[in-house]
Chains A and B, each alone.
Chain A
Amino acid sequence: MHLEFTVIENDFVNAGSASSSIKKTLKQLAVNPSIIKRVVVALYEAEVNAIAHAYGGVITADIDADKIIMKVIDKGPGIPDIEWAMQEGNSTASPEVRDMGFGAGMGLPNIKKNVDRLNVSSTVGVGTTVEMEVNLG
Protein backbone atom coordinates (compact mmCIF):
# COMPACT_ATOMS: atom_id res chain seq x y z
CA MET A 1 0.00 0.00 0.00
CA HIS A 2 1.34 3.43 -0.96
CA LEU A 3 0.14 6.60 0.77
CA GLU A 4 1.15 10.17 0.02
CA PHE A 5 0.51 13.48 1.78
CA THR A 6 1.47 17.08 1.13
CA VAL A 7 2.99 19.15 3.94
CA ILE A 8 2.59 22.93 3.85
CA GLU A 9 5.05 25.32 5.51
CA ASN A 10 3.79 26.75 8.83
CA ASP A 11 0.44 24.93 8.52
CA PHE A 12 0.31 24.05 12.21
CA VAL A 13 -3.47 23.63 12.21
CA ASN A 14 -3.07 20.51 10.08
CA ALA A 15 0.20 19.34 11.58
CA GLY A 16 -0.28 15.69 12.39
CA SER A 17 -3.02 14.96 9.89
CA ALA A 18 -0.76 12.68 7.81
CA SER A 19 0.41 10.84 10.94
CA SER A 20 -3.20 10.55 12.11
CA SER A 21 -4.26 9.08 8.78
CA ILE A 22 -1.45 6.52 8.86
CA LYS A 23 -2.35 5.63 12.45
CA LYS A 24 -5.92 4.84 11.35
CA THR A 25 -4.67 2.73 8.43
CA LEU A 26 -2.35 0.69 10.66
CA LYS A 27 -5.19 0.16 13.15
CA GLN A 28 -7.37 -1.15 10.35
CA LEU A 29 -4.55 -3.52 9.40
CA ALA A 30 -4.58 -4.78 13.02
CA VAL A 31 -0.92 -3.90 13.65
CA ASN A 32 0.23 -4.26 17.28
CA PRO A 33 -0.69 -1.00 19.15
CA SER A 34 2.84 -0.57 20.60
CA ILE A 35 4.30 -0.70 17.09
CA ILE A 36 1.66 1.72 15.80
CA LYS A 37 2.64 4.14 18.56
CA ARG A 38 6.34 3.95 17.59
CA VAL A 39 5.48 4.53 13.92
CA VAL A 40 3.22 7.51 14.47
CA VAL A 41 5.36 9.19 17.14
CA ALA A 42 8.35 9.08 14.77
CA LEU A 43 6.31 10.24 11.78
CA TYR A 44 4.61 13.00 13.75
CA GLU A 45 7.96 14.36 14.96
CA ALA A 46 9.19 14.39 11.34
CA GLU A 47 5.93 15.92 10.10
CA VAL A 48 6.13 18.73 12.66
CA ASN A 49 9.79 19.27 11.70
CA ALA A 50 8.85 19.66 8.03
CA ILE A 51 6.12 22.17 8.89
CA ALA A 52 8.18 24.09 11.45
CA HIS A 53 11.59 24.15 9.79
CA ALA A 54 11.09 23.60 6.06
CA TYR A 55 9.28 25.15 3.12
CA GLY A 56 6.81 22.26 3.05
CA GLY A 57 7.23 18.94 1.31
CA VAL A 58 5.81 15.47 0.83
CA ILE A 59 5.28 12.48 3.12
CA THR A 60 5.10 8.99 1.65
CA ALA A 61 4.40 5.70 3.39
CA ASP A 62 4.78 2.24 1.89
CA ILE A 63 3.23 -0.53 3.94
CA ASP A 64 3.61 -4.24 3.36
CA ALA A 65 3.10 -7.26 5.63
CA ASP A 66 6.52 -6.93 7.31
CA LYS A 67 7.34 -3.26 7.48
CA ILE A 68 6.43 0.37 6.91
CA ILE A 69 8.83 2.68 5.10
CA MET A 70 8.12 6.39 5.56
CA LYS A 71 9.82 9.28 3.82
CA VAL A 72 9.48 12.94 4.72
CA ILE A 73 10.96 14.90 1.82
CA ASP A 74 11.08 18.66 2.34
CA LYS A 75 12.01 21.52 0.04
CA GLY A 76 14.70 23.09 2.15
CA PRO A 77 16.46 25.01 3.57
CA GLY A 78 18.41 21.85 4.53
CA ILE A 79 20.40 20.97 7.66
CA PRO A 80 24.03 22.17 7.61
CA ASP A 81 25.17 19.77 10.35
CA ILE A 82 23.06 16.61 10.74
CA GLU A 83 25.22 15.26 13.58
CA TRP A 84 24.55 18.45 15.58
CA ALA A 85 20.80 18.24 14.83
CA MET A 86 20.68 14.62 16.00
CA GLN A 87 21.93 15.54 19.48
CA GLU A 88 19.30 15.95 22.17
CA GLY A 89 18.73 19.61 23.11
CA ASN A 90 19.95 21.14 19.85
CA SER A 91 17.32 23.10 17.97
CA THR A 92 16.93 26.06 15.62
CA ALA A 93 13.17 26.37 16.29
CA SER A 94 11.52 29.80 16.25
CA PRO A 95 9.86 31.25 19.38
CA GLU A 96 6.48 30.57 17.69
CA VAL A 97 7.30 26.87 17.38
CA ARG A 98 8.51 26.76 20.99
CA ASP A 99 5.25 28.37 22.13
CA MET A 100 3.45 25.36 20.67
CA GLY A 101 5.42 22.99 22.87
CA PHE A 102 7.99 21.95 20.28
CA GLY A 103 11.55 22.96 19.52
CA ALA A 104 13.22 21.39 22.55
CA GLY A 105 15.71 19.59 20.34
CA MET A 106 14.18 16.20 21.06
CA GLY A 107 12.54 15.46 17.71
CA LEU A 108 15.29 13.71 15.73
CA PRO A 109 16.61 11.79 18.79
CA ASN A 110 13.04 10.64 19.52
CA ILE A 111 12.59 9.53 15.91
CA LYS A 112 15.80 7.50 16.19
CA LYS A 113 14.52 5.85 19.38
CA ASN A 114 11.25 4.76 17.79
CA VAL A 115 12.29 3.40 14.40
CA ASP A 116 14.26 0.31 13.36
CA ARG A 117 16.14 2.11 10.59
CA LEU A 118 16.70 5.83 10.07
CA ASN A 119 18.49 7.75 7.37
CA VAL A 120 18.65 11.54 7.30
CA SER A 121 20.17 13.15 4.23
CA SER A 122 20.29 16.85 3.60
CA THR A 123 21.65 19.37 1.13
CA VAL A 124 21.68 23.01 2.15
CA GLY A 125 19.56 25.03 -0.26
CA VAL A 126 17.84 21.91 -1.63
CA GLY A 127 16.15 20.05 1.21
CA THR A 128 16.14 17.23 3.73
CA THR A 129 14.89 13.66 3.39
CA VAL A 130 14.12 11.65 6.51
CA GLU A 131 13.66 7.94 5.78
CA MET A 132 12.24 5.79 8.56
CA GLU A 133 11.54 2.08 8.59
CA VAL A 134 9.70 0.14 11.27
CA ASN A 135 9.23 -3.64 11.33
CA LEU A 136 5.56 -4.47 11.73
CA GLY A 137 5.96 -8.12 12.65
Chain B
Amino acid sequence: MKIRTIVELLNGKVACGEERLDEEYDYAFASDLMSDILTLGDNNPVIMTGLCTVQTIRTCEMGNLDVIIFVRKKKPTPEMIELAKDNDMVLIECDYSMFKTSGILYSNGMLPVY
Protein backbone atom coordinates (compact mmCIF):
# COMPACT_ATOMS: atom_id res chain seq x y z
CA MET B 1 0.00 0.00 0.00
CA LYS B 2 1.27 3.48 -0.83
CA ILE B 3 2.03 5.72 2.17
CA ARG B 4 -0.27 8.27 0.52
CA THR B 5 -3.17 5.79 0.74
CA ILE B 6 -2.39 5.10 4.41
CA VAL B 7 -2.57 8.84 5.14
CA GLU B 8 -5.89 9.15 3.29
CA LEU B 9 -7.46 6.10 4.98
CA LEU B 10 -6.47 7.39 8.42
CA ASN B 11 -7.41 10.99 7.68
CA GLY B 12 -3.86 11.69 8.81
CA LYS B 13 -1.47 14.58 8.55
CA VAL B 14 2.09 14.20 7.32
CA ALA B 15 4.55 15.85 9.73
CA CYS B 16 7.60 15.10 7.57
CA GLY B 17 8.68 12.93 4.65
CA GLU B 18 6.11 14.16 2.10
CA GLU B 19 8.48 13.35 -0.76
CA ARG B 20 8.18 9.62 0.04
CA LEU B 21 4.38 9.24 -0.09
CA ASP B 22 4.40 7.11 -3.25
CA GLU B 23 6.53 4.39 -1.65
CA GLU B 24 4.86 1.04 -0.97
CA TYR B 25 4.66 -0.81 2.36
CA ASP B 26 3.09 -4.23 2.92
CA TYR B 27 3.38 -4.74 6.69
CA ALA B 28 2.29 -2.85 9.80
CA PHE B 29 3.04 -3.27 13.50
CA ALA B 30 1.36 -1.57 16.48
CA SER B 31 3.03 -1.14 19.87
CA ASP B 32 3.73 1.36 22.61
CA LEU B 33 6.61 -0.78 23.81
CA MET B 34 9.96 0.16 22.30
CA SER B 35 11.42 -3.19 23.35
CA ASP B 36 8.81 -4.88 21.11
CA ILE B 37 9.76 -2.67 18.19
CA LEU B 38 13.41 -3.66 18.64
CA THR B 39 12.58 -7.36 18.23
CA LEU B 40 11.11 -6.97 14.73
CA GLY B 41 12.73 -8.68 11.76
CA ASP B 42 13.59 -7.32 8.35
CA ASN B 43 10.18 -6.90 6.67
CA ASN B 44 10.15 -3.16 7.33
CA PRO B 45 6.66 -2.58 8.73
CA VAL B 46 4.94 0.76 9.17
CA ILE B 47 4.88 1.45 12.93
CA MET B 48 1.76 2.61 14.77
CA THR B 49 2.40 3.94 18.26
CA GLY B 50 1.00 6.26 20.88
CA LEU B 51 4.42 6.71 22.44
CA CYS B 52 5.49 10.11 21.17
CA THR B 53 9.04 10.83 22.40
CA VAL B 54 12.50 11.31 20.90
CA GLN B 55 13.16 7.70 21.90
CA THR B 56 10.40 6.56 19.53
CA ILE B 57 12.36 8.07 16.64
CA ARG B 58 15.69 6.70 17.94
CA THR B 59 14.24 3.23 18.42
CA CYS B 60 12.84 3.18 14.89
CA GLU B 61 16.17 4.45 13.55
CA MET B 62 17.95 1.47 15.16
CA GLY B 63 15.35 -0.94 13.81
CA ASN B 64 15.51 0.47 10.23
CA LEU B 65 11.84 1.44 10.57
CA ASP B 66 11.16 4.62 8.68
CA VAL B 67 7.40 5.20 8.63
CA ILE B 68 5.79 6.03 11.98
CA ILE B 69 2.09 6.75 12.58
CA PHE B 70 1.39 8.53 15.86
CA VAL B 71 -2.10 7.55 17.03
CA ARG B 72 -4.38 8.98 19.75
CA LYS B 73 -3.86 12.61 18.57
CA LYS B 74 -0.18 12.55 19.56
CA LYS B 75 1.91 15.20 17.82
CA PRO B 76 5.68 14.88 17.32
CA THR B 77 7.76 17.76 18.70
CA PRO B 78 10.02 19.89 16.44
CA GLU B 79 13.02 18.03 17.93
CA MET B 80 11.48 14.69 16.95
CA ILE B 81 10.71 15.94 13.44
CA GLU B 82 14.29 17.19 13.08
CA LEU B 83 15.71 13.80 14.07
CA ALA B 84 13.24 12.04 11.77
CA LYS B 85 14.28 14.26 8.84
CA ASP B 86 17.95 13.45 9.53
CA ASN B 87 17.04 9.80 9.12
CA ASP B 88 14.81 10.27 6.06
CA MET B 89 11.68 9.10 7.93
CA VAL B 90 7.99 9.69 7.31
CA LEU B 91 5.99 10.81 10.37
CA ILE B 92 2.18 10.73 10.24
CA GLU B 93 -0.21 12.17 12.83
CA CYS B 94 -3.52 10.36 13.30
CA ASP B 95 -6.40 11.24 15.62
CA TYR B 96 -7.77 7.68 15.82
CA SER B 97 -7.18 5.16 18.58
CA MET B 98 -4.60 2.41 18.13
CA PHE B 99 -7.46 -0.10 17.69
CA LYS B 100 -9.23 1.89 15.00
CA THR B 101 -5.99 2.72 13.17
CA SER B 102 -4.92 -0.93 13.17
CA GLY B 103 -8.40 -2.06 12.09
CA ILE B 104 -8.52 0.31 9.13
CA LEU B 105 -5.10 -0.72 7.85
CA TYR B 106 -5.74 -4.43 8.43
CA SER B 107 -9.11 -4.39 6.68
CA ASN B 108 -7.53 -2.61 3.72
CA GLY B 109 -4.90 -5.28 3.23
CA MET B 110 -1.89 -4.33 5.33
CA LEU B 111 -0.26 -7.50 6.66
CA PRO B 112 0.68 -8.32 10.27
CA VAL B 113 4.34 -9.04 11.06
CA TYR B 114 3.26 -12.16 12.98
Contact for B55 among A15, A37, A104, A113, CB less than 8 A? A15
Stretch at the interface among A38-46, A58-66, A72-80, A125-133: A38-46
**Inter-subunit contact B38/A104 (CB<8 Å):** no
**Inter-subunit contact A34/B35 (CB<8 Å):** no
Chain A CB within 10 Å — which of B39, B61, B62, B63 has the most? B62
Stretch at the interface among A1-9, A16-24, A115-123: A16-24
What is the chain A residue whose CB lies nearest that of B56? A101
How many positions in chain B have a CB within 8 Å of any CB in the partner chain? Answer: 20
A33–B42 Cα distance when bound, in Å, is 10
Given contacts A37-B64, A101-B32, A101-B33, contact A20 B38 (CB under 8 A): no
Given contacts A12-B55, A37-B64, contact A101 B34 (CB under 8 A): yes
* Chain A interface helix/strand/loop/mixed: helix
**Inter-subunit contact A44/B51 (CB<8 Å):** no
Contact for A41 among B53, B55, B56, B62, CB less than 8 A? B62
Residues in B whose Cβ lies below 8 Å from that of A103:
35
What is the chain B residue whose CB lies nearest that of A103? B35
Given contacts A34-B42, A45-B38, A102-B35, contact A23 B55 (CB under 8 A): no
**Inter-subunit contact A107/B35 (CB<8 Å):** yes
- The reply to whether the CB of A69 lies closer than 8 angstroms to some CB of chain B is no
- The reply to whether the CB of A90 lies closer than 8 angstroms to some CB of chain B is no
Chain B CB within 10 Å — which of A34, A101, A113 has the most? A101
**Inter-subunit contact B38/A110 (CB<8 Å):** yes
- The reply to whether the CB of B59 lies closer than 8 angstroms to some CB of chain A is yes
Instruction: State how many angstroms separate the Cβ of A49 from the closest Cβ of chain B.
Output: 11
Given contacts A16-B59, A16-B62, A41-B63, contact A100 B39 (CB under 8 A): no
A134–B35 Cα distance when bound, in Å, is 20
**12 CB < 8 A contacts A-B:** A13-B54, A16-B55, A16-B61, A45-B38, A100-B34, A101-B33, A101-B37, A101-B55, A102-B34, A104-B36, A106-B36, A113-B39
For the complex with contacts A16-B61, A110-B38, 19 further pairs of A-B residues with Cβ separation under 8 Å are A16-B58, A16-B62, A19-B58, A20-B61, A20-B62, A23-B61, A34-B42, A37-B42, A37-B64, A41-B38, A44-B62, A101-B32, A101-B53, A101-B55, A102-B35, A102-B55, A103-B35, A106-B36, A110-B39
